[in-house]
Chain A
Amino acid sequence: MQLLGKGFANKNEKVKNIRRADNFAKMAVSASTKACADFEFSNNKNSVSIILATQFGPHVTTFKFLDNLLDYSEIGVSPTIFSHSVHNAAASYIASTLGIIGQTLTITSFIDPLKQGLILAEAWLETDQAKKIILCYVEEESGPFTQAHKHCTFPSYSYDKFRTGAAAILLEKGNNIEIPAKILNPFTYVEEI
């Protein structure tokens, strides 16, 4: 695979036109937009694909929804919070912000999800299912998981600590990226490639 661009985002990103989106989606859109800054997808937007990889997804929003359930009962919950708690909301925001109508996929894996995303991206590029792929890794720290981290063994990237942020890379067919045997820190990995 060949790297065409990369972008990063931290907590509290201000992203135009997606005011209602949660922080998880805003980080994903911001990093992906930066990764694609030098490219114009006006033609063949259905040949551009999105893969969003994460260990835990938008759990801050999931916990907000549980707040809703506890505070207002199942009859009084917010549809907006619910729709953002669905794991593929962030990928949907990337697609609509960049106008991409190719394959859009969200994957979760506790063990090395960015590597899983890279393997899938390579498969899609080599089998001509996509010409370009935005691969975005997003994670967001949340209170319950941070507390549980002291009492449970967390896997892979979050073994030592939680990280909040998004890193996105734009890929096409080529030879300048080798998939590593293991990624220990997804943000450091994207910085270094």
Chain B
Amino acid sequence: MNNDKIFITGVGIISALGNSFAETYKSLLTNQINPDKINFFDCNINKPFFKTNLTDTQSSSQMRTKELADIAFFQAIDQAKISTYSKPDTIHRKLKIGICCGTTVASQLNNIEFYKQFREGAIKSYDPVKQYLAGNISESLVHEHNFSGPGLNVVNACSSGSDAIGIGMSWIKKGICDVVIAGGADELNIVPIAGFNSLGILSDSLCKPFDKDRDGLNLGEGAAFLVLEKKSTAKIRKAEILAECCSYSTAADAYHLTTPRPDGLGLSTAIEKALLNANLKKEDIDFINAHGTATKNNDAVEGQLFKKMFKSNTKIFSTKGYTGHTLGAAGAIDAVLTVLSLRKQWIPKNAGFTNEDPDIGFRPVSQPTNYNAKYALSTSLAFGGQNSAIIFRRV
């Protein structure tokens, strides 16, 4: 078993902030907040959504989620200098490369028209089923690029993207893979939109993470991938080290299907284990990119725990005010944005925040800030009481 450090050598991202790392940074710098209406399927739920600029015509032959995943995937492997078209006998073609992707929508056959035809006993085409069977993102990426490692989808609801990164780290530590391309992808889709609306947690206005008057989340779509590997394999390709992925941990609430445990025990367990695995103290964490969805419950649990657990000058922010909540992609998008902040030594403001919540007792980052940070924590909470934590280090 090899416990060498794991580094990030490539990142890819698409969200409402833009189609690349550079566009994302530019949008954050200029505080771009671009909510929109759904125009690529019928939707009578009139709330703000955070769309990518992927047009519907691009996604006719495969699932929109896979289209989003492809965009982020190619950015990440290009940056990491992984050529998927090189000859089999070249050095990096011999690397065992695996894919681990978090998603929610791509795991379901939720084609309404197909299901309507099934109910009426008049199925006209099985193409939606074939599309679904071809649409397991990780398996299809492994197959399309002829990688020799595993392909696995994580369906842990809103922490899936973080958990995919954690699994990727396990694969490398255990020697299952030399390189793992890990992340998450999810599209805006009527099923989660209607479902979240039925739970009463979609805001009518722009979301306000950690604000006293927060009243729910905005859904978004996007994808992000990170290339994980040890320094030894990165060196073969002369790939630049972007950051270290120090540790990951996750813990269950064992409490409720849709409500986080009020005392935050699952989240604190995940954070403490992540700190322990990285051989760090909580005082070492310079900033936290929080899950911060702007629901009453999520932000109360996260906020109260952060206030209790971390030093008072720890910078805390959520980026959901820019991207919306991208479900299975959220943890991966947050991971890329955390790497961005460490690389640029700059943290964005917590969009949407105005008034401090006395029940939480802190103010998140209120202005974009140049900040000399070494260690950062990214947290994800999910349906079913999942809590995940990843620690990154600037290199």
Contact = CB atoms under 8 A, between A and B. Distances in A.
A182 to B, nearest CB: 13
Contacts of A45: 254
A100 B1 contact: no
Interface residues of B, number: 68
Interface residues of A, number: 64
26 contacts: A57-B107, A65-B191, A66-B115, A70-B115, A74-B193, A75-B44, A75-B45, A75-B197, A78-B198, A79-B198, A83-B257, A85-B191, A87-B107, A87-B155, A87-B157, A89-B384, A92-B257, A95-B384, A95-B385, A101-B252, A103-B252, A108-B136, A109-B139, A116-B150, A120-B167, A147-B123
Interface of B: 1, 3, 43-45, 104, 107-110, 112, 114-116, 118-119, 123, 126, 129-130, 133, 136, 138-139, 150-157, 163, 167, 170-171, 173-174, 176, 190-191, 193-200, 249-258, 265-266, 269, 273, 382-386
Interface stretch (A9-17, A32-40, A121-129, A164-172): A121-129
A124 B170 CA distance: 7
Interface of A: 45-46, 50, 57, 59, 62-63, 65-67, 69-70, 73-75, 77-79, 82-89, 91-93, 95-96, 98-111, 116, 119-120, 122-124, 126-127, 129, 143-145, 147-148, 151-155
Classify the interface of chain B: helix, strand, loop or mixed: mixed
B174 A127 contact: yes
A101 B155 CA distance: 18
Contacts of A50: 252
Contacts of A78: 198
B133 A74 contact: no
Nearest to B135: A110
A106 B252 contact: no
A41 to B, nearest CB: 11
B88 to A, nearest CB: 22
B108 A59 contact: yes
Closest 7 CB pairs of A and B: A92-B384, A82-B195, A87-B155, A74-B194, A123-B174, A104-B252, A79-B198
A104 B383 CA distance: 12
Contacts of A57: 107-108, 155
Contacts of B136: 108-110
Nearest to A21: B257
B291 to A, nearest CB: 16
A37 to B, nearest CB: 19
A104 B250 contact: yes
